[in-house]
Structure 1
Amino acid sequence: MDAMRYSRQMLFAPINEQGQQKLTDSSVLVVGAGALGTVICNHLVRAGIGKIRLIDRDYVELSNLQRQMLFDEDDVRKALPKAIAATQKLKKMNSEVEMEAIVGNVTNENVEELMKDIDIVMDGTDNFATRFLLNDACFKLKVPFSYGGVVSSRGMTAFFIPGKTLCLRCMVQESAGNGQTCDTVGVIGPVVDIISSLQVTEAMKYMTGNEEHLRNSLKTMDIWFNQTYDIKFTDPNPACPTCVKKDFPALTKSAKNMETTLCGRNTVQIHQNKEMDLELWEQRLSGVSEAKRTPFLLKADFRNGLKLVIFPDGRVLVQGTEDSVKARTIYDRYIGS
C-alpha cells in the first residue's frame, strides 16, 4: 500500500491507517458499469479497495456519455463493452487495485460464483429483477448488499447486512414500480453522482469497521424538487421469503428465455443461448443486415431501424423497441431457438 497516495484519506480520523489497510484487504463485486457503476468504481478505485470484480452486459453508446463518467467518444467508436472500457480507465487511475472485468449477464446460475471471495456487492444495475437476484444471493451467502437506483431527478439507496438488517424485499415489493425508466422520463447526471457516492460511503463505513455510523435507512431524494426522505429500517417482514423464510425465490427461477428491458436504451435483452459464435452469426446475418463484428460483439443493423447486438455468452440485444413481445418476434425471426 502506497501511504502517500491515501494520505489525505488516512488523515480522516474514522479511517486512519488501520482503516486504509482494511480497504486494501477488501474485495467488492460491482454489478453494472453504467451510470451508477462507473461512479461507484471511480470512488472505490481511488479509495484503494484491494480488488474489484466488475460485470456488465452492455457496450458503450453515445447516449451514455451524458452521465456515465468513465467513458468517452473513442469508446463509442470502438463499441467497447462497458466492463472493458471502464477497467481500462480505472487501471490508469490506480494500478494497485486488482481489476477483474467480466462481459456478461448476472443470472441465478452464475451469481454465487461471481460472489466468491467478495466482501460487499454494489448495485449499479437498472432493473429490479437483477436487484432482487442480488438481494437473495447476498442474504443466502451472508454478504452485505448496497442497493441504489436513479431515474429522472430521483434516487434511492440502502445498505443491507444479512443477519443485522431487513432486506430489499422487505422494503420494496417485487411488483412495485410506476414503469418509469431513463428512456421514458430521462435522468440527470448529478443524481447519479449523489446516489452512487452515498452507496460507496456506506460501504466504506462497513469495510473500515465503522458500522456504528451506518445510516440504517432507505434514503430517497428528488434533487430537482428539493425533497429528501429517510425511511428507517424496522424489523424484517415476518412473511419475507428472503431474510425470514430463507426461500430466496430469485435463485430458483429459470434463467433461460429471460427478457429484460434495458433502462434508457429502447432495448430488450434476450438471453436464451449459453454461447453464440460471432463469426458464424456474422455470416448468417450479413445477407439481411449490415453486420459488423468486433472481438467482443456483433452488431447487425437492419433497414427498418432495428438492430441486433449479439454477445459471445448468448445474450442478444434487440434495439429499437421496448415491447418484449415484438422483441421476441424479431429474435425468433432472425435468431430462432
Structure 2
Amino acid sequence: MKNDDTTDRYSRQRRFGPIGDQGQDRLNQSDVAILGCGALGTVAAELLCRAGIGRIRIIDRDVVEWSNLQRQSLFDSRDADQGSSKAEAAAKRLSQINDTIKIEPAAVDVRSDNIRSLLSGVDLVIDASDNFQVRFLLNDWALSTQTAWVHGGCVGATGQVRLFDGAARPCFRCLVPTPPPSEVVETCDTAGVLGSATHAIASMQVTEALKWLSGNREAVSKDVIAIDFWNNRTRRIKLTADLSPDCVACSKRNFEFLCGGQQTQSELALCGRDAVQISPAEGRSVDLATFASRWNKIGKTQETRFFVRLQVDEQTQLTLFRDGRVIVNGTSDLAKARSLVDRYVGT
C-alpha cells in the first residue's frame, strides 16, 4: 500500500505515533465482531470501518425504527420506512464507506447455542448489546476462548466503558456478579438517551479496541471509565485481580450462561392468538408499580393488582404479570417479542 496523502486513506492514522505503519497493518489484519447494531454499535462499526479493521461482523436481530434515527448513525429515513434489518442496512452503508474491508452481517439472536459459531475466529468483540444476559454470555465465551471484549453501556446521559481481556482476572462478573432485577435497570426506551452520549461512549470503546488490536495493550485502561455527560462528571472505578476471589466465571471457571444453565426466559407462541408469552426461568415477584410509573412516560398504561399493560403502538401491547411473565400481543415472531421485552421490561 502506498503511504502518501492522496492514495492512503489511513495516512493520518499512520502518522499517529503509537499506531504507525506496524499498528495499521495489525488493524488491517484484525477480525472484530459487534454484538448489537444500535446506538453504540452503529458508531463503533463506522469508526472501526474507517480505521481499516480487516473484517467486521455485525450481529443484530432487530429492524430499523424511526426512533432509532436520533442516535443510530448508519441508518436513514428509507431504512426506517422499509423496516430494514439493522445488520444488513449497516453492512450496506459500511461497504460504501470502505470497500477495501470485509463486512459480514448476521440478522440473528445471540444465544448460548450459536455464540461460538457467530464469534469463531474473532480477535475482539464490541459489546453494544444493551442487554445484561448477552453480556454475561459474552463474558463466559470470552473467558472460554481467551478473547478480548470491550464492554460499553449508556442510558440517559451516563455511560461506562472497560475492556476485558478474557485471559486474566477480573472479568465482568467480578464487577456485576448477577444480572440485576429488571425493575431497577432503566433502558433507553424507558429513560431516554442522548445521541451525543452514545456517540462518545462508542468512541471510547473503539479507542480501547484500537489500542488492543494495534499492539498498544499497555495503554488500555484497567479501570471502568464512567461519565455523566449532562452533569460533567467523570469517575474511574478500580478493578483489581482480587476484587472477587470466588467469582463464578473467572475464578471457578463455571460458565453458566455459555452452557445454557442460566437461561432466564422461555418463549411460547400462544395458539390461535397473535401473541407470545415470555416467562422467566424461575418465578419471581415483580414490582408492578415501578413499571407502571416508568411506562406512563412512554404510552397508554393500564395497572391492576395482577398486571400492568403498555400499549406500545396500534398493534402491539405488553402485559407484565407479577410473577415476571410477559405476554406480547400483536406478533407471533419470537425474536421480535424478545426484543420488545428487552426494551421495555429488561432482562
Whether TM exceeds 0.5 here: the answer is yes
Aligned partner of 2:154 in structure 1 is 150
Q: Verify: 1:216 aligned to 2:222, yes or no.
A: yes
For 2:111, give the aligned amino acid: T
Displaced runs of 4 or more, over 6 A? none
Q: Verify: 1:226 aligned to 2:229, yes or no.
A: no
Q: Distance in 2 between the 1:246 and 1:80 partners? A: 40
For 1:243, give the aligned amino acid: C
Selected match of 2:125 from 99, 121, 124: 121
Aligned partner of 2:248 in structure 1 is 241
Q: Verify: 1:323 aligned to 2:323, yes or no.
A: no
Give the secondary structure class of the aligned counterpart of 2:13. helix
Aligned partner of 1:14 in structure 2 is 18
The one-character-per-residue Cα deviations of 1:38-76 (angstroms, maximum 9, x if unpaired) are: 000010000000001111000000000001000000001
> Structure 2: where are the runs of 5+ without partners?
268-275, 280-310, 335-347
Selected match of 1:184 from 182, 190, 193: 190
Q: Distance in 1 between the 2:131 and 2:312 partners? A: 28
Residues 58 and 82 of structure 1 are in contact (CA less than 8 Å); yes or no, is this contact kept in structure 2?
yes
Give the secondary structure class of the aligned counterpart of 1:328. strand
Q: Distance in 2 between the 1:32 and 1:187 partners? A: 16
Deviation at 1:7, TM superposition (A): 0.4
Residues 161 and 226 of structure 2 are in contact (CA less than 8 Å); yes or no, is this contact kept in structure 1?
yes
Residues 165 and 233 of structure 1 are in contact (CA less than 8 Å); yes or no, is this contact kept in structure 2?
no
Residues 136 and 257 of structure 2 are in contact (CA less than 8 Å); yes or no, is this contact kept in structure 1?
yes
Aligned partner of 1:193 in structure 2 is 199
Aligned partner of 2:174 in structure 1 is 170
Aligned Cα root-mean-square deviation (Å): 2.6
CA distance change for structure 1 residues 77 and 146 in 2, over 3 Å: closer, same or farther? same
Aligned partner of 1:278 in structure 2 is none
CA distance change for structure 1 residues 60 and 2 in 2, over 3 Å: closer, same or farther? farther
Residues 317 and 329 of structure 2 are in contact (CA less than 8 Å); yes or no, is this contact kept in structure 1?
no
Residues 132 and 169 of structure 1 are in contact (CA less than 8 Å); yes or no, is this contact kept in structure 2?
yes
For 2:22, give the aligned amino acid: Q
Aligned partner of 1:103 in structure 2 is 107
Q: Distance in 2 between the 1:225 and 1:196 partners? A: 19
Selected match of 1:71 from 75, 81, 97: 75
Selected match of 2:210 from 199, 204, 210: 204
The one-character-per-residue Cα deviations of 1:254-311 (angstroms, maximum 9, x if unpaired) are: 669546xxxxxxxx9969xxxxxxxxxxxxxxxxxxxxxxxxxxxxxxx99454xxxx
Q: Distance in 1 between the 2:55 and 2:139 partners? A: 21
Identity %: 39
Q: Distance in 2 between the 1:90 and 1:118 partners? A: 19
Q: How does 1:291-306 map to 2 (within 5 A)?
A: 305=313
CA distance change for structure 1 residues 7 and 305 in 2, over 3 Å: closer, same or farther? closer
Deviation at 1:227, TM superposition (A): 1.2
Give the secondary structure class of the aligned counterpart of 1:187. coil
Deviation at 1:326, TM superposition (A): 6.6
Deviation at 1:327, TM superposition (A): 4.1
For 2:60, give the aligned amino acid: D
The one-character-per-residue Cα deviations of 1:206-227 (angstroms, maximum 9, x if unpaired) are: 1111111111111111100111
Aligned partner of 2:62 in structure 1 is 58
Deviation at 1:238, TM superposition (A): 1.4
Give the secondary structure class of the aligned counterpart of 2:205. helix
Deviation at 1:233, TM superposition (A): 2.0
The one-character-per-residue Cα deviations of 1:73-118 (angstroms, maximum 9, x if unpaired) are: 0001111010011111000000011000000110000111111110
Q: Distance in 2 between the 1:61 and 1:163 partners? A: 38
Q: Distance in 1 between the 2:44 and 2:312 partners? A: 37
CA distance change for structure 1 residues 152 and 162 in 2, over 3 Å: closer, same or farther? same
Residues 153 and 224 of structure 1 are in contact (CA less than 8 Å); yes or no, is this contact kept in structure 2?
yes
Q: Distance in 2 between the 1:69 and 1:198 partners? A: 16
Deviation at 1:179, TM superposition (A): 2.1
CA distance change for structure 1 residues 53 and 335 in 2, over 3 Å: closer, same or farther? closer
> Structure 1: where are the runs of 5+ without partners?
260-267, 272-302, 308-318
CA distance change for structure 1 residues 334 and 61 in 2, over 3 Å: closer, same or farther? closer
For 1:87, give the aligned amino acid: A
CA distance change for structure 1 residues 25 and 166 in 2, over 3 Å: closer, same or farther? same
- Give the length in aligned residue pairs: 286
Aligned partner of 1:298 in structure 2 is none
Residues 149 and 157 of structure 1 are in contact (CA less than 8 Å); yes or no, is this contact kept in structure 2?
yes
Residues 136 and 248 of structure 1 are in contact (CA less than 8 Å); yes or no, is this contact kept in structure 2?
yes
Q: Distance in 2 between the 1:220 and 1:23 partners? A: 27
Q: Verify: 1:251 aligned to 2:250, yes or no.
A: no
Q: Scaled by the length of structure 1, what TM-score is found?
A: 0.79
Selected match of 2:32 from 28, 31, 36: 28
For 1:119, give the aligned amino acid: D
